[in-house]
Amino acid sequence: MKRRDTAIMKLKVLRRAAQELKLEIEGEGHTLCNLLESVLLEDKDVEFAGYDVPHPLISNTIFFIRTKKGKKPEDALVEAIEKIRLMGQEFSEAIKSALEAWKKGEG
């Protein structure tokens, strides 16, 4: 799998509390953050997840997570990222399978 040609994603922790985490994600906008927000909100231990793109011409997104007592927000974030990674892997495998079936005239 090829990596993006751009530099490694830069994150800056803006605020960290027991149940809250506020990050600035440099160079990312709605595409990644909307997916991440959706997956986080599927977690019963996440009370709130959301993001803001403060300026439409500068793609630095502010991402916020608040968890229920007993779960660290960074743990919820890592779990959501892993779930997204697995979803991408499953999707990639399904596409390969569908293309193979199409090539064989089965699809």
At 17 the pLDDT is 95
pLDDT, tens digit (0-9, with 9 covering 90-100), for 78-93: 999 999 999 999 999 9
CA distances from 71 to 11, 43, 79 (A): 21, 11, 11
Number of structural domains in the chain: 1
Residue 3 covered by a domain: no
Residue 2 covered by a domain: no
Pair 65, 40: CB distance under 8 Å: yes
Domain residues for 41?
10-103
Query: Which CATH number characterizes residue 26's domain?
Result: 3.30.1360.10
Residue 64 covered by a domain: yes
pTM, full prediction: 0.82
At 1 the pLDDT is 45
Please choose, from the candidates 1, 71, 88, the residue with its C-alpha nearest in 3D space to the C-alpha of residue 36: 88
Cα separation of 45 and 4, whole Å? 32
Q: What is the mean pLDDT of residues 31-52?
A: 96
